Chains A and B, each alone.
Chain A
């Protein structure tokens, strides 16, 4: 052993016996040469007014998009607006913060008493929903950068079978419910973690996430906007608003002449064809009543299934996971390689405290599981109900829930005002 390491180790042995943080072991020297100590630099974060500029841009682009869709009926206008939104919210703002992720901020504000919600996040959450309640999903048409990037690569859209669309259409509800559950239990922000495009916007991400983003874009060439239709949790909320919106765009500017020209123009399968009620009205109503009757059953089954899943669901909470690990393998507490166990031992928290905390979180997941499951049961029940009910429809109309107001179909309509 050389001299230096000897000094080092004897020093270390002595010093390590002291609480590490409370010491200035070596006093600051008094310099004689007039040495001036440099300042520790503190680069400021992005200025606050820029954050509000983002909100302003959101509102402005939303107004422009809505004008192009509802008033001007110009697909071209929508397209260029979406390109701008992609550049601004996507590549310049690097996809953060976005309205989709803001769901979690709002949830956290409702459930975590210590969390303070930035006003900008609340606005990002609320503004598109309000506009959608009036004019349909113009936000999806040209403002959301995630939608825009997918829209631009939808070169060869194929039509998916209806039943597949319906089944996959349940996924966003599940995603929304889970995202809310994990945010409400302060576990994590699922939507942000698995945002497939944010890595592309930043030109930087873990390899798996870039892969996922690339995959979505690749699939998106054939299945138009796969994230929007089969994953996006905000799309669920927008869909609700849009279904009951006041002035949703229509395919034709005046009256549909049943020319069928627009029938296949929607890459998202969101055009409803004319249908006539089939069969006997009475038996139809009876069938609907049966489906309605089954909905509470669906909710019950879903809730039960959800609550039974609470143990695996809670594993994704780091406190619960650590507690489980340490209870199952107590020897891990001594394992210096196990970073979380070591940090826990250093924290001075007792095992009992950790277990109590974990139990509490688990019980939150138990009740959350009921809610999530019940919600999904309700969604399934309603989907079935909707599938079996046809009201008469005489014209080609956008399905207001799923129509993204992209405006493609308008160009196919030969009727001019």
Chain B
């Protein structure tokens, strides 16, 4: 008698369990389908828009990697090869020399090479650069803006949410398709007046 009751109870419990199991399954399928409407087979990575960046310096400090995966890159297409490079020299430099005290870059990551009179080529040593954006500010304020920051994808671990994006004051960071992962200046200014100076 008691056994029968137990049996019945167990059967009912089993029934409820199965019901809830199906409910859970269907809800999960519902959420997955709703999310699947926004799905892309491609992967996404973080990149910053150099035209939005205001060189605040947080790229150097907030990346989860040390040193930062954000580095300065040089768009040679835009560079004026200036002798008086606003990105290379401190505004109050004493002399036009490569002495470290005259260099804007705290780690001397920018190397200057004489090309021909009066032009110099500037190259970034990415092992030294830590993305502080000092040179970017200098170059954009006084020069052509050919020095700019980019997330380097060989160093970036592609955090689910980039911890610089969270603090970037100009909302320069965005998720971009992994098959087009850079926003190098000059690349996308083709056809606009940035590449054709007045």
Which B residues, 55 to 80, have Cβ-Cβ distances below 8 Å to chain A? Answer: 56-58, 64-66, 73-80
B190 lies within 8 A of chain A by Cβ? no
**Known contacts A45-B181, A118-B42, A246-B21: A12-B91 contact under CB 8 Å:** yes
Contact B38 A117 (CB under 8 A): yes
Determine if A280 is an interface residue (Cβ-Cβ < 8 Å): no
Contacting residues, chain B, for A106 (C-beta < 8 A): 31-32, 35
Q: How far is the CB of B48 from chain A (nearest CB, A)?
A: 13
CA distance A22 to B193 in the complex (A): 8
Quick check: B145 and A23 within 8 Å, CB to CB? yes
The answer to whether the Cβ of A38 comes within 8 Å of any Cβ in the partner chain is: yes
Q: Is B34 an interface residue (CB 8 A)?
A: yes
Shortest C-beta distance, B106 to chain A (Å), equals 18
Q: A11-B142, A119-B41 known; A104 and B32 CB under 8 Å?
A: no
| CB-nearest residue of chain A to B76 | A37
Within 8 A of B (CB), among A237-260: 240-241, 243-246
Number of cross-chain contacts by CB at 8 Å: 217
CB distance from A191 to the nearest CB of B (A): 8
B39 within 8 A of A: yes
Q: Which of B25, B79, B159 contacts A192 (CB 8 A)?
A: B159
Interface string of A118-129 (1 = CB under 8 A from B): 111110011001
Chain A: minimal CB distance from B133 (Å):
11
Asked if A109 meets B35 with Cβ closer than 8 Å, knowing A23-B144, A24-B78, A48-B43, the reply is yes
Instruction: Tell me whether A347 and B24 are in contact (CB under 8 A).
Output: no
The secondary-structure label for the interface of chain A is helix
Does A193 count as interface, using CB distance less than 8 angstroms? Answer: yes
Q: Which residues of A contact B181 (CB under 8 A)?
A: 42, 44-45
Q: Does A163 have its Cβ within 8 Å of any Cβ on chain B?
A: no
Nearest residue (CB) in B for A8 is B91
Where the two chains meet, the residues of A that have a C-beta atom closer than 8 Å to any C-beta of B are: 2, 4-5, 7-9, 11-12, 15-16, 20-29, 31-33, 35, 37-46, 48, 51, 94, 96-97, 101-102, 104-106, 109-110, 115-122, 125-126, 129-130, 133, 188-189, 192-193, 198-199, 202, 204-206, 240-241, 243-246, 318, 339-340, 342-344, 346-347
12 residue pairs bridging A and B, Cβ less than 8 Å apart:
A12-B91, A23-B144, A28-B77, A32-B116, A105-B160, A109-B34, A116-B40, A116-B44, A117-B38, A118-B40, A205-B64, A347-B170
